[in-house]
Amino acid sequence: MENRSVGQSILIYACAILLALFILAPVVWLFVMSISPAAQLTAKPLEWWPETIDWSRYRFLLSSTDNSAGQAFTAALANSLTVAGISTLAALAVAVPAAWAVSRTPAVGWSLTVVIMTYMLPPVALAVPLYMGLAEFRLLNSVYGLALVYLSILAPFTTWLMKSGLDGIPTEIEAAATMDGASLFQTLRSITLPLAAPVIATSALFAFLLAWDEFFYALLFTSDQRAKTLTVAIADLAGGRVTDYGLIATAGVIAAIPPVLFGSILQRALISGLTSGGVKG
């Protein structure tokens, strides 16, 4: 029994290490490309580690010189943070009450199903009406217009995700609070939302990632530095006749930092919600 337990432990750790290598290998290679000289990236045979480390691409992309590629990239980075942040907060503001209403009133659950069915439509099918709507309200090439488009995508998804988490919270807890004299708002603020903290954090993380990585609508509805997002800016780097793969890799590394930081913050909130949520008897 003891030998089998050791064998199982070895197998588990081996699988965990293989999974970590499978996930981290592309990220590590992306970073290596970002610090490798351009000639080394096209050399044959391929060299897996640069002879000299080159940080010039990071300085180039993060520069603030007027009318430079670095200024365009940092503007796109700021636009992505703004659009993803606004759309995520707006999606949560819509999803929390909507998910609670659908979860506590099963008779209207069909409405959420109908809304979710819109995900079956390809994005290109909605491009023309969305474009005409943004043009009508003069929101083309605007971070707020793009955030509004993303809200129409994120709100149904976060509502559906949050509703599944609220279904796991017993309604008896809310009923007991109501019997003790708590108002509906007090019950939601003091009981339901703290218990739902893990699913709210998960919904926020997924919403932020969806908005951060979206490319199609950002390409269609933006045209210059006022609203162009990071995904479009990276595509522009790859659009020239001579492509610097190291520069694209550098942009990818920088673009990965905000989601990683946001995920680490929400991971602590998620764990805190899991450990603090519950009923004290």
Residue 80 has pLDDT above 90, yes or no: yes
Kindly list the domain boundaries of the chain, sorted by start residue. 1-54, 65-276
- Distances in Å between the Cα of 55 and the Cα atoms of 29, 103, 237, 239 are 15, 52, 18, 22
Lookup: tokens for 99: 């998910």
Helix (H) or strand (E) holding 184: helix 184-187
Name the one residue in this structure whose structure tokens are 């006022």.
226
Q: 152 Cβ partners below 8 Å, 6+ apart?
A: 130
Phi-psi region of 175 (alpha: psi -120 to 50; beta: other; left: phi over 0): alpha
Among candidates 140, 137, 138, 143, which has minimal Cα distance to 83?
A: 143
**N-to-C CA span, the chain:** 39
**Does residue 201 sit in helix, strand or coil?**
helix
Q: What is the mean pLDDT of residues 124-153?
A: 94
pLDDT digits (tens, 9 = 90+) for 39-58: 888 778 877 888 889 999 99
- pLDDT for position 32: 93
Helix axes 143-166, 109-116, angle to 10 degrees: 130
Two tokens, residue 55: 């940080």
The count of other CB atoms within 10 Å of the CB of residue 128 is 10
Q: Using one digit for the tens of pLDDT, what is the confidence trace for 244-270?
A: 889 999 999 999 999 999 988 887 766
Count of residues in the chain? 281
pLDDT at 64: 79
Residue 159 corresponds to which tokens in the numbers above?
Answer: 């509502």
**Look-up of token digits 């610097």:** 244
| Max intra-chain CA distance, the chain | 75
Please tell me the distance from the alpha carbon of residue 90 to that of residue 77, in angstroms, as a whole number: 20
How does the average pLDDT of the chain come out, rounded?
87
Instruction: Identify the architecture of domain 65-276 in CATH.
Output: Orthogonal Bundle (1.10)
